[in-house]
Structures are given as structure tokens and as C-alpha cells.
Amino acid sequence: MMGYLRTAMLLAALTALFMGVGFLIGGQGGMVIAFLVAAGMNLFAYWNSDKMVLRMYGAQPVDAGSAPELYGMVRELSQAAGLPMPKVYVMQNEQPNAFATGRNPQNATVAVTTGILRTLSREELAGVVAHELAHIKNHDTLVMTITATIAGAISMLANFGLFFGGRDNNGAGLIGTLAMIFLAPLAAGIVQMAISRTREYEADRMGAEISKAPLMLASALQKIAGAAHRIPNREAERNPASASLFIVNPLSGARMDNLFSTHPNVENRIARLNEYAREWGLTGTRAAEPIDAPAGETYSGPWGNETRGRGPSSRGPSSRGPWG
């Protein structure tokens, strides 16, 4: 409950900041115009943000025929979470990562990279999928879309104010305009990051409850974080505003758990998951370390025989586990 209250307060602060920038530029009229622009941008993002981000990352849909293991896992975990079956997409990206998007649980998508399919064990991947389903269940995908849209609009208005602000029509003058230009985008980014970090902690907790395997999610986070800073995600680097969608920050060099990080420190997240496991009386063993095989070479992985360098449909017979 406190998490939702904190998110609501941060969203209110972001909205107030946006309207304040509009006031500094054009007084009361500018504030009204800023509000209307924000409403229009959010309406567009509400209906189209999922399609935009999937297209941005070149994600392709999969089904029970093309990716039976992955699709079946998502279906069973969705049932455990009490959610409609989301669409499932795979991104051809060597960096292990995943995200969820969509305006509501009835129009949601879970997207994973080919890198994560080759890096994690079946149980670890189930923990990641459960984390993304928790975002869907909590409506985080919509919240993060709204915050990203408003934060981007604040930066746009600040740049606009550089040329048209401070005309003595609002009493702010040069000092107010300069403060707006430099401080408003920074404040918007801080609020956006704070919201993102709050929702990641909550999704870890709920995802662990859905999968009933907090230690496997902790193991997955450790593997993903280790690989994410070695393997570049070029699409994310070109579009850093989308970084907050991923389970682990896909950008290089962002490891600090402070106001300037879109994600909590991975070690802090793992510590919380370990604490959940102790509280729930759960124990488990660590999954096998990722196998680093050359591209195109078949090897025995946690899901059976796999071929490096291909999508999930390339997987051969797999061993049965708790999710299928």
C-alpha cells in the first residue's frame, strides 16, 4: 500500500513540475497549454507505447508452435498470477534482459531477448517472467509510460523556454528561466527514476510470490547484471528513455543505487529476495552457470539440446520442470 501511495505522490509531483514549467514560460495560459499538451501526449502513449517500444527493439511475436517452452511457461505463470495470457515476443539481442509493456493486463506483452534464453536456466527464466507479470498485475507498464512521457515533455518545454521564456509575462525573469532550463529536466529525471526503482522492488517481491522461487530470481538477476555490462544493447543505448522498462538496466555504467539510477542496485535486490526466501522458509540450490558456446554450435543446456545463435524455436527436446 505504501508503494502505491509513494508512486501516486511522485506522479503528482511530476505533473505539478510540468505545469510549473508551463507557467514559467507563459503564465497561467502557458500552464493550461502545457497541461493540454501533456494530456494529448499521454493519450497517444496510452494506445501506442507498446507497439512503439516493440518496434524499436525489433521484437517478433512467438506462439505455442514456434516457442513451446517459453510460451507454455508464460501461460502457466499467468494463470498462477491470475492474469490473462499476455502476448509473447522475442528480441534478437545477445544481452540477457526482458521487459513488459502494455496499457493494461488485457493488452499486455512480455518480451525477452535471445540472450536471456541462452543464459538462464528454466527456473531462473521463470523467475524473470514472473517479475514481468508482476509489473503487468501492478499496472506498472502504464505508470512508467506516463512518467516517461511527462519527463520527456518537461525537457522539451525547458528547451522551448530557452528561446521564449523569461519575457516578464510571468514575473520569473531571467533567473526563473535559467532555473527552469537546468533544474526542471533534472528534477523530472529524478522523479522518474524514483518511481522506476520503487516499482522494481515491488515487482521482485510479487514475482517471487508468483514463481514461489525467490532464490531463482535472485540467481537470474546476478547473471543478467553480470552479462548486461559486458554485452552492449545498442537499441537501448540509442533510446535511453526506454531503459527503465527492463528488469536490469541495459545501459553501460549505471550501477549505483542513487537518485541517478533507473534501477535499484542488483545486490540490494538480491539481498531482499534472499530475505524473502528465509521468511517463507524456502531453500534451493543455485542453477547451473551459463554455457558459453560458439555461435551455431549445439550444446546441452538447461532446456535440453540448444543451438547457439538461433531463437527459442531452435531448442530441441527439453527436460521437464515445475513449469511444464
- Per-residue model confidence as pLDDT tens digits over 268-308: 999 999 999 999 998 654 433 433 333 333 333 334 434 43
* Inside any domain, residue 320: no
Active site residue 209: no
pTM beyond 0.85: the answer is no
Query: What does the pLDDT look like over 108-124, one tens digit per residue?
Result: 999 999 999 999 999 99
CA distance 192 to 260: 10
Residue 207 in domain: yes
Which residue(s) pair with 87 in the sheet? 109
The grid coordinates listed for 106 are: 488485457
* Backbone torsion region of residue 173, taken as left when φ is above 0, otherwise alpha when ψ lies between -120 and 50, otherwise beta: left
Give the residue numbers of the binding site: 131, 135, 200
Name residue, grid cell 502545457.
Answer: 34
Give strand pairing partners of 130. none
220-239 in b/e burial notation, b at 16+ Cβ within 10 A? bbbbbbebbbebebebbeee
Residue-wise pLDDT tens digits, 6-37: 556 766 777 777 777 777 777 777 778 777 87
Bridge pairing between strands 108-113 and 87-91: parallel
The answer to whether residue 227 is domain-embedded is yes
Q: Does residue 322 sit within a domain?
A: no
For residue 65 the three cell numbers come to: 508452435
Would 270 be classed as within a structural domain? yes
Neighbours of 289 (CB within 10 A): 10
Which domain covers residue 305, as residue numbers? 2-314
- Percent of the chain that is helix, strand, coil (3-state, to 5): 60, 10, 30
CB 49 within 8 A of CB 242: no
Known binding-site positions for Zn(2+): 131, 135, 200
Going by their DSSP bridges, the two strands 108-113 and 298-301 should be labelled as unpaired
Write out the three cell numbers for 3: 508503494
Q: Among residues 123, 124, 132, 202, which one is catalytic?
A: 132
Query: Would you say residue 187 lies in a domain?
Result: yes
The Cα 35–Cα 14 span in angstroms is 12
CA–CA dist 18, 33 (Å, integer): 11
Check residue 52 and give its pLDDT: 87
Amino acid of residue 92: Q
How many domains are there within the chain?
1
Q: Is residue 278 part of a domain?
A: yes
Compute mean pLDDT per 10 residues along the chain, 324 residues long, and list them.
Answer: 60 74 74 77 78 93 96 97 97 96 93 96 97 94 74 69 53 58 67 74 96 96 92 88 87 55 87 95 53 36 39 36 33
**Burial profile 29-46: b = 16 or more Cβ within 10 angstroms, e = fewer:** ebbeebeeebeebbeebe
Establish if 129 belongs to a structural domain: yes
